[in-house]
């Protein structure tokens, strides 16, 4: 059994180009959000499991202070190169996301989620919620594009909107969780965009 918590597993996927989660662009729903009247105001944002950095670069272009995190070395190397090529302000660091609370407690205004929550072992989902809560400032917001497919197995591991609410509702106020209409074709009807505000005890 491969270990999803093992950087080598994901590193191999990047090197083999068997990284079907990589859509070679920022997710269209994020672009739509940033151009909408309900767009989040620029602030400090963490992109978890950032891959090659397309979503991070998009938010940086909209004046956000961006740090992307991934533990696959190839992904971070390529993201840094892409940022340099495009003269983006986005920064990228090789990290295990579950180590971030020790380094970035109460640090970010936003956390961006896209293909990370569905990639981790489902047994780690509550730990993911806690790490996200930890690195956000009070009133910080999670902006998540969740993969709500119902196919067996994974990664990516699917989940229902009800399951997403179940995981997050204790520590976050769920502002919205709505089906996405402009997914890439192969994910049409299988994504929900959520905006959750953290509740600090």
Q: What is the DSSP letter of 154?
A: T
Report how far residue 98's alpha carbon sits from residue 31's, in angstroms, rounded to the nearest whole number: 27
Q: Would you tell me the crossing angle of helices 54-61 and 73-85 to the nearest 10 degrees?
A: 30
Q: What is the pLDDT of residue 86?
A: 95
Q: What is the pLDDT of residue 18?
A: 44
Q: What is the pLDDT of residue 2?
A: 43
Q: What is the pLDDT of residue 12?
A: 59
Q: What is the DSSP letter of 83?
A: H
Give the CATH H-level superfamily of domain 23-198. Vaccinia Virus protein VP39 (3.40.50.150)
Q: What is the pLDDT along the chain (201 residues), one digit of tens a residue?
A: 345 555 565 455 545 544 454 557 899 999 999 999 999 999 999 999 999 999 999 999 999 999 999 988 988 999 999 999 999 999 999 999 999 999 999 999 999 999 899 889 899 999 999 999 999 999 999 999 998 988 887 788 889 999 999 999 999 999 999 999 887 676 677 899 999 999 976
User: How many degrees, rounded to 5, is the angle at CA 84 between CA 53 and CA 28?
Assistant: 30
DSSP alpha helix (H) spans, the chain: 7-16, 28-34, 54-61, 73-85, 100-104, 125-135, 161-168
Q: Where are the domains of the chain?
A: 23-198
Report how far residue 46's alpha carbon sits from residue 44's, in angstroms, rounded to the nearest whole number: 7
Give per-residue burial for 128-140: e unless 16+ CB within 10 Å, then b. Answer: bbebbbbbbbeeb
């Amino acid at each position: 059994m491969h270990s999803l918590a093992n950087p080598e597993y994901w590193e191999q996927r990047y090197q083999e180009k068997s990284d079907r989660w990589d859509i070679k662009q920022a997710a269209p729903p994020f672009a739509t959000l940033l151009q909408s009247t309900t767009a989040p105001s620029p602030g400090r944002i963490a992109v978890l499991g950032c891959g090659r950095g397309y979503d991070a670069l998009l938010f940086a272009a909209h004046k956000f202070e961006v740090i992307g995190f991934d533990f696959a070395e190839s992904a971070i190397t390529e993201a840094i190169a892409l940022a340099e090529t495009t003269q983006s302000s986005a920064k990228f660091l090789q990290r295990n996301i579950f180590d971030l609370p020790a380094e970035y407690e109460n640090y970010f205004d936003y956390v961006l989620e896209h293909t990370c929550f569905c990639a981790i072992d489902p047994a780690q989902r509550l730990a993911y919620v806690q790490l996200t809560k930890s690195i956000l400032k009070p009133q910080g917001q999670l902006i998540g594009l969740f993969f709500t497919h119902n196919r067996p197995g994974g990664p990516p591991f699917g989940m229902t909107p009800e399951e997403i609410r179940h995981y997050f509702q204790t520590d976050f106020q769920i502002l919205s969780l709505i089906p996405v209409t402009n997914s890439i074709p192969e994910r049409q009807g299988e994504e929900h965009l959520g905006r959750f505000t953290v509740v600090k005890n």
